[in-house]
Structure 1
Amino acid sequence: MMGPLQALRLLRINWILLRHGLDEVILATHLFRPLRWIKYLLPWHWVQRDLPPYPARIRRALEDLGPIFVKFGQILSTRRDLLPDDLANELAKLQDRVPPFSGELARAIIEKAWGRPIEEVLDQFDPVPLASASIAQVHTGRLKDGTEVVVKVLRPGIERIIRQDLALMYTFARLAQRYWKDGRRLRPVEVVSEYEKTIYDELDLQREAANASQLRRNWLNSQMLYIPEVYWDWTRPNVMVMERIYGTPVSEVEQLKAQGISMRLLGERGVEIFFTQVFRDNFFHADMHPGNIFVEPSGRYISIDFGIIGTLTAEDQRYLAENLLAFFERDYRRVAELHVESGWVPPGTRVDEFESAIRTVSEPIFEKPLAEISFGHFLVRLFQTARRFNMEIQPQLVLLEKTLLNIEGLGRQLYPELDLWTTAKPYMERWMREQVGLRGLAERTWRNVYSIADQVPELPLVAYRMLMAYDKQLRHAEFERAKLQREESPSTAAIALRAIGGATLVICATLILVLGPGQWLPEHLALVLMTLTYLVGGWLLIAAARTA
């Protein structure tokens, strides 16, 4: 049941939708279509209004609805396999503009998390936030040893707000899925469910810190990417302390050029970092928009904000690499087969029809120069096509598609002539050789040696248990077979009873024949009785013989 606070929130949402002219969108749904005439009674429809296109109205409505809806719109903008291009492009413009909460409140949250005054940990703490977003805000400080740090603090009460807004999102999603003509295809309930998982993951700053630590280990001493250090002694679920970094935002292209940094090198490094994270580490930063990337004067990237991380299974890695290689070789049948083999589409999918659909999508791409071919948009079109063949949502592939689109857009912003395929293909081919060649086989075997060796002493006991289980199964099967035979065949006692009964009747009939009729047995009755007794006795004897 909806509480009073939710009801008020719902009223506010409806008012914002009406204010942005989205009543037309609502009344166009199947549920409200019979009531579309009502809009002519609404005063704002009596005067011609100059409204922007509906994607812009949706973006502005989400901005007015608050940070949780803005973040939902940002994530929704990455689902280009579901949304029209114009709507996805408009939602990508959403900015997480949230006024900061007070520095005194941030201090109180930090001191409660640490269980001590800030002055015992930090020599300096700036109450004015360095940055503020929908989930948390960041303050600068300095540890006792002089290390400059940033302190990330969750917004107070944010979990309650998220829980309330998610409940309303689920309500809207269920209505849309039931009454909107595209509801079943777009699966809004599943989209909200994905968002719920993502947003709750971002509420745990210890989880984000663990992601940062793993990425730092993967890229330690690298000349391409730097990950700041986490200070675990002062990190809690709602407070994270991390090394402060300095660099030029990657979107400031003119500043980067003024520093003498090669734009081509930056673009190619970005692609190499992405494919290394996906295929070497299987642990990739899935929120690589320009606001989270900086560049050192040496040209090394610096990455921040590790709330969203993607991983792939070994099978997904191999299928993805094979898909991309097959695509650029125009082997569309292999692309279709890989989708079926991987389980991304149902096993009964007709490969020839799927192949034809993929060819229809892919061939126009190859009419462009190689440097203009977009990996990201190819994946978008491929997933859109696969959805027509009942491809289930693969959350890990959605994150990959989003990240690839970000990296590709960033790379071409830095260096418009970036040839993504030429940069990535040698890396993927080398990775495939390592995985399926002798080297890959040897490495996988060596990785399993210790786990196999640990089980060797247990093999005799395992073999004994298997033999005993097999013997028990045989005994049980023999018992069941004998039981079944007993149930299906008549008992020996029944056969004997029929034989004895038949023999007795035959003997009685013979006595009647020998002794003949008398005072108590008239002649006609004796004849009938003798005949019947012979017939019944003979039938019983024959039946007993057949059964036996």
Structure 2
Amino acid sequence: MLTPKNIIRLFTIQKILFGYRLNELIDKIPILKPFKYLFFFFPKKINNQSSLGERITRALEELGPIFVKFGQVISTRRDLLPADIANELAKLQDQVTPFAQSEAIKILENEYDKPLKEIFSKIDKKPLAAASIAQVHSALLKNGKKVIIKILRPNIKNQIERDIAILYAIAESLEKFWDESEQVKPIEIVKEYEKTIINELNLKREAANAARLKRNFSGSDLLYVPEIYWEYCRSNILVQERIFGEPIRDIETLKKNNTNMKKLAENGVEIFFTQVFRHNFFHADMHPGNIFVKIEDPNNPKYAAVDFGIIGTLTKDDQYYLAENFLAFFEGNYNKIAQLHIDSGWVPRETRVDELEIAVRTVCEPIFNKPLSEISFANVLISLFNTARQFNMEIQPQLILLQKTLFNIEGLGRELYPNLDLWKTAYPVLKEWMNEQIGVKAVVTDLKENLPLLRQTARDFPRILKEITLRSEQENTNKMKVIEIQKELLKQKNQLFTLSVSVTSFLSGVLIHLFGSSPLIGSTLLFIGVMSFFKAR
């Protein structure tokens, strides 16, 4: 429900949209349309030559951090957005004015039950980074460990709830009046965004994500995950080891240090596919700002990741169908791709395989004819999903995060090493995982995992058998009782019928004797009535 404050906020939004010449966008949002004429004479903030994507991006930046974050989320929906708009939205930077250090100190003091000087030797005044949800300060623990402190913005939850309510109001109006809403599902998009941003408000959840990711890559030379200092973490405070390395976007510095760029790019792809298929737990916000490179050994560079607020997982079925889709694509087996889309439930069961196969072939054949080094996995996914949408494919939120992450990793990999062959790097991981799922090893693994259950079942089998026997006997007894009751009911029904015949016959006989002219019929009816009465007893 919209409050007066929310209505005022809606007017502010409309004013900003008009300022960036987004009249066509307002015309598609029914809740804003009635008031558009109020803003015609307000000054414009951008010229007519700017693209629609640029105007939307600039407007979101002015609307504030929550809308910036929303723009970043929907920029990954390349299956729904035109490419030029998606590319512009991807440029949105989550950088906002930091809140004062005094306020940060106050939050820390309120959360810890001891003076800060007993925990930290030093807390830097200037934040390392300030984003829409939180800001980060570097610090030094009393034990000499260098750490970062991530602190949620004050009152951020109220701001988010206010703007989420407005986004829902806009989405609901679109769902009612926009013809394409059934396919795009604006309310689902807002729900997806709400879930993502609410999860980011719990920094203990982020700490748990980091801890699990660190365990997954323990002993690996591919990815380093910082240590979490749990004793200092709260729902609004995260304290973790400070990462030192070169920002991955600083390609010039990496090259100056003779970093093996080919290996770095290939390792990034391997990390992604390992997370998705082997661990089923992947960092879903791996944009360049969250990735550093440790180059102590330039020939064996190692990734270091930060910011674990957004994590993706897949069901076993989604993992299987996704891997099979990739393998089928590179084998040119379009019939299998079509069948997989139906078997997975991504498109309705009644979809004709032959029609879907033709549509998939039309889209994929031009991609498949390119050299492998030029094929984009992310574009393959987008193309397949766009094709499936023509067959009423439902939105798959769990695959959207995967698509976004793949798009980031792939773009980054090709920026590091333009001739990167993703298939060459990904194929061994996919093939090994598939063999583990369907080979002898998979059977052995399943037996090992289920052995305790099998042992317990064998131990309980005599008791279970006895219970089944007792239940069967009880059911037989109950059946006999039911039959007896049914017989008794039938008997009572017959008695009631006979009694009604008796009463009717007796009364008819009496009436005939009193008023009729046929004593024989009257006597006969009286006799039948008396006999029926005795029978009914």
TM score, norm. by length of structure 1: 0.87
**Aligned equivalent of 1:507:** none
Q: Indicate conservation of the 8 Å contact 1:21/1:51, yes or no.
A: no
Superposition deviation, residue 342 in structure 1: 2.2
**Aligned equivalent of 2:238:** 240
Q: Indicate conservation of the 8 Å contact 2:338/2:357, yes or no.
A: yes
> Where do 1:52-67 residues align within 5 Å?
52-67=50-65
Distance of 2:377 and 2:502 partners within structure 1:
91
**Aligned equivalent of 1:416:** 418
RMSD between aligned alpha carbons?
Answer: 3.4
Residue by residue, what CA displacement relative to the aligned partner does 1:403-423 show, whole Å, maximum 9, x if unpaired? 111111111111111111121
**Aligned equivalent of 1:377:** 379
Distance of 2:246 and 2:268 partners within structure 1:
15
> Where do 1:320-331 residues align within 5 Å?
320-331=322-333
Q: Indicate conservation of the 8 Å contact 1:263/1:414, yes or no.
A: yes
Residue by residue, what CA displacement relative to the aligned partner does 1:490-526 show, whole Å, maximum 9, x if unpaired? 855468779999999xxxxxxxxxxxxxxx99xx95x
**Aligned equivalent of 1:512:** none
Superposition deviation, residue 290 in structure 1: 0.6
**Aligned equivalent of 1:76:** 74
Residue by residue, what CA displacement relative to the aligned partner does 1:90-145 show, whole Å, maximum 9, x if unpaired? 11111112011111111111121122222111111111101111111111111122
Letter of the 1:414 counterpart: L
Distance of 1:393 and 1:28 partners within structure 2:
21
Letter of the 1:367 counterpart: N
Residue by residue, what CA displacement relative to the aligned partner does 1:376-414 show, whole Å, maximum 9, x if unpaired? 111112122223333332222111111111111111111
Distance 1:486 1:30, change over 3 A: farther
Larger radius of gyration: 1
- Given candidates 157, 176, 189, the residue that maps to 2:174 is 176
**Aligned equivalent of 2:350:** 348
Superposition deviation, residue 463 in structure 1: 3.1
Letter of the 2:15 counterpart: W
> Where do 1:350-365 residues align within 5 Å?
350-365=352-367
Letter of the 2:61 counterpart: E
Residue by residue, what CA displacement relative to the aligned partner does 1:518-539 show, whole Å, maximum 9, x if unpaired? xx99xx95xx66579889999x
Distance of 1:132 and 1:159 partners within structure 2:
17
Distance 1:252 1:502, change over 3 A: closer
Q: Equivalent residue of 1:58, what SS?
A: helix
**Aligned equivalent of 1:508:** none
Distance 1:42 1:156, change over 3 A: closer
> Where do 1:434-449 residues align within 5 Å?
434-449=436-451
**Aligned equivalent of 2:509:** none
Letter of the 1:337 counterpart: Q
**Aligned equivalent of 1:158:** 156
> Where do 1:31-180 residues align within 5 Å?
42-43=40-41, 50-180=48-178
Residue by residue, what CA displacement relative to the aligned partner does 1:150-172 show, whole Å, maximum 9, x if unpaired? 11111111111111111111111
Distance 1:262 1:28, change over 3 A: same
Q: Indicate conservation of the 8 Å contact 1:224/1:301, yes or no.
A: yes
Residue by residue, what CA displacement relative to the aligned partner does 1:314-362 show, whole Å, maximum 9, x if unpaired? 2221121111111211222222222222222333333222222222221
Distance 1:224 1:29, change over 3 A: closer
Task: Kindly indicate whether residue 210 of structure 2 is the aligned counterpart of residue 212 of structure 1.
Answer: yes
Superposition deviation, residue 439 in structure 1: 0.9
Q: Indicate conservation of the 8 Å contact 1:143/1:149, yes or no.
A: yes
Q: Equivalent residue of 2:5, what SS?
A: helix
Distance of 1:388 and 1:464 partners within structure 2:
56
Q: Indicate conservation of the 8 Å contact 2:29/2:170, yes or no.
A: no
**Aligned equivalent of 1:4:** 4
Q: Equivalent residue of 1:349, what SS?
A: coil
Moved more, 290-299 or 112-121: 112-121
Distance 1:34 1:376, change over 3 A: same
* Structure 1, unaligned runs of 5 or more: 505-519, 542-548
Superposition deviation, residue 287 in structure 1: 0.5
Distance of 1:385 and 1:470 partners within structure 2:
54
Superposition deviation, residue 76 in structure 1: 0.6
Distance of 1:62 and 1:219 partners within structure 2:
37
Distance of 2:201 and 2:290 partners within structure 1:
18
* Structure 2, unaligned runs of 5 or more: 507-512, 532-537
Q: Equivalent residue of 1:149, what SS?
A: strand
Distance 1:446 1:495, change over 3 A: same
Letter of the 2:438 counterpart: V
Superposition deviation, residue 363 in structure 1: 1.5
Distance of 2:489 and 2:385 partners within structure 1:
59
Structure 1's consecutive aligned runs of 4 or more residues displaced over 6 angstroms after TM superposition are 30-36, 494-504, 531-538
Letter of the 2:201 counterpart: L
Moved more, 364-373 or 488-497: 488-497
Task: Kindly indicate whether residue 267 of structure 2 is the aligned counterpart of residue 269 of structure 1.
Answer: yes
Q: Indicate conservation of the 8 Å contact 2:28/2:174, yes or no.
A: no
Distance of 1:313 and 1:325 partners within structure 2:
18
Letter of the 1:273 counterpart: I
Q: Indicate conservation of the 8 Å contact 2:249/2:288, yes or no.
A: yes
Q: Indicate conservation of the 8 Å contact 2:233/2:239, yes or no.
A: yes
**Aligned equivalent of 2:20:** 20
Residue by residue, what CA displacement relative to the aligned partner does 1:230-277 show, whole Å, maximum 9, x if unpaired? 111111111111111111111111211111111111111111111111
Letter of the 1:134 counterpart: S
Q: Equivalent residue of 2:73, what SS?
A: helix
Distance of 1:99 and 1:142 partners within structure 2:
24
Letter of the 1:133 counterpart: A
Distance 1:380 1:480, change over 3 A: farther
Moved more, 351-360 or 236-245: 351-360
Q: Indicate conservation of the 8 Å contact 2:18/2:40, yes or no.
A: no
Distance of 1:35 and 1:235 partners within structure 2:
47
**Aligned equivalent of 1:285:** 283
Task: Kindly indicate whether residue 204 of structure 2 is the aligned counterpart of residue 202 of structure 1.
Answer: no
Moved more, 390-399 or 472-481: 472-481
**Aligned equivalent of 2:510:** none
Q: Equivalent residue of 2:148, what SS?
A: strand
Distance of 2:470 and 2:347 partners within structure 1:
42
Distance of 1:489 and 1:175 partners within structure 2:
66
**Aligned equivalent of 2:251:** 253
TM score, norm. by length of structure 2: 0.89
Q: Equivalent residue of 1:145, what SS?
A: coil
**Aligned equivalent of 1:229:** 227
Q: Equivalent residue of 2:138, what SS?
A: strand
Letter of the 2:129 counterpart: A
Letter of the 2:167 counterpart: M
Moved more, 11-20 or 193-202: 11-20
Q: Indicate conservation of the 8 Å contact 1:178/1:184, yes or no.
A: no
Number of residues of Structure 1 aligned to a counterpart in Structure 2: 527
Q: Equivalent residue of 2:266, what SS?
A: helix
Q: Indicate conservation of the 8 Å contact 2:30/2:173, yes or no.
A: no
Q: Equivalent residue of 1:43, what SS?
A: coil
